[in-house]
Amino acid sequence: MTPELTPGILRLLSASLPGDLAEALVGDLAEEASQHSLGWLARQACGAIWYVHVARWRDALRGAALVSGLAAAGVVAAAAMALWGLVLGAVPRRAAHPMGFGWMLSILVAAIVAAAVVSAIVRAETTSTNDGTMRPE
Amino acid sequence: MAAVLGEFETLVLLALLRLGHNGYGMAVRREITERTGRDVAIGAVYATLERLEAKGMVTSAAGDTSAERGGRARRFFSVTSSGRQAVAAAREALTRMSEGLDLGTT
């Protein structure tokens, strides 16, 4: 163990975590640090930041995933209506796709990809929090 | 009906029940590591304890400070009756599901 690095790591960790939790968690690590390597302490500190923030932001991320999903659904609906209008010729060509079909398709793909990415993040982080053995690295 | 627990939540609650009045984060981590062989991160333990507290399955209280801990207080957790019921339900479910199965582990 490199004793001079320990207080720095603990101070950094303390500043990264919310108040009451920081006191308990950092106190536990301070008590245990002398029995372990610097690598162990660094891993625990990184893990603590990861898990605690993931747990606190999980619901917010779920909300973001929902918003992305709704946005994607909205874009799909708008594109479908525009195409439907084109097919039927019920609306003028420019009104059906004022931004152009290429742009519309790009926005649609981007929205779907964004929704998929956010959902994947939420799923992965939820799993890691519950499992308790995955490491941040 | 008791609330459904995740596997790690069940382990944390069982560790707290085993530790009795000495249930704080690092002790829970040590108990799980010694009994299951899993290298658990302390952050995962505290994140789970916070979640369980939000669900009303554990309560916490600050302990004394010490120089060894840099003047920081320990936070002791104890399992509520709702937490005990949830653990009992999880154990019951596991027993029923595994009843009569030959898992080939002997």
Q: What is the mean pLDDT of chain A?
A: 71
Q: How many residues does chain A have?
A: 137
Let me know: does B86 contact B3? Beta carbons within 8 Å: yes
CB atoms within 10 A of CB B39: 13
Model confidence band, residue A94 (pLDDT cutoffs 50, 70, 90): low
Lookup: tokens for B52? 């369980």
Minimum distance, in Å, between the CA of residue B29 and any CA atom of chain A: 10
Specify the higher pLDDT residue, B24 or B68. Answer: B24
pLDDT tens-digit series, residues A16-26: 888 778 889 99
Choose between A117 and B14: higher pLDDT. B14
Contacts of A6 in chain B (CB under 8 A): none
pLDDT for the residue B9: 92
Mean pLDDT value across residues B47-76? 90
Please give the pLDDT value at position A91.
Answer: 52
Three-class HEC string of A57-75: HHHHHHHHHHHHHHHHHHH
- Within 53-92 of A, beta carbons closer than 8 Å to B belong to 54-55
Whether residues A47 and B72 touch (CB distance < 8 A) is answered with: no
- For the cut 50, the answer to whether the pLDDT of residue B10 exceeds it is yes
A39 has a chain B CB within 8 A of its CB: no
Mean pLDDT for A1-23 is: 81
* Helix (H/G/I), strand (E/B), else coil: B80: coil
Going from the C-alpha of B15 to that of each of A28, B29, B49, the distances in angstroms are 17, 8, 11
Tell how far CA B79 is from the center of its chain.
Answer: 8
- Judged by a CB distance cut-off of 8 A, whether residue B4 touches chain A is no
ipTM score for this prediction: 0.84
- pTM for the model stands at 0.68
Q: State the smallest CA–CA distance between residue A77 and chain B in angstroms.
A: 37
Backbone angles phi, psi at B104, to 5 degrees: 65, 35
**Token pair of B76, please?**
């002791």
- Chain B partners of A21 at a C-beta cutoff of 8 Å? 46, 50
Is residue A131 very low, low, confident or very high in pLDDT (cuts 50, 70, 90)? very low
* A47–B69 CB contact, under 8 Å: no
Contact in structure between B23 and B15 (CB atoms under 8 Å): yes
| Dist. CA A34–CA A8, nearest whole Å | 14
Q: What local confidence, expressed as pLDDT, does residue A53 receive?
A: 79
Cα A45 to the center of its chain, rounded Å: 20
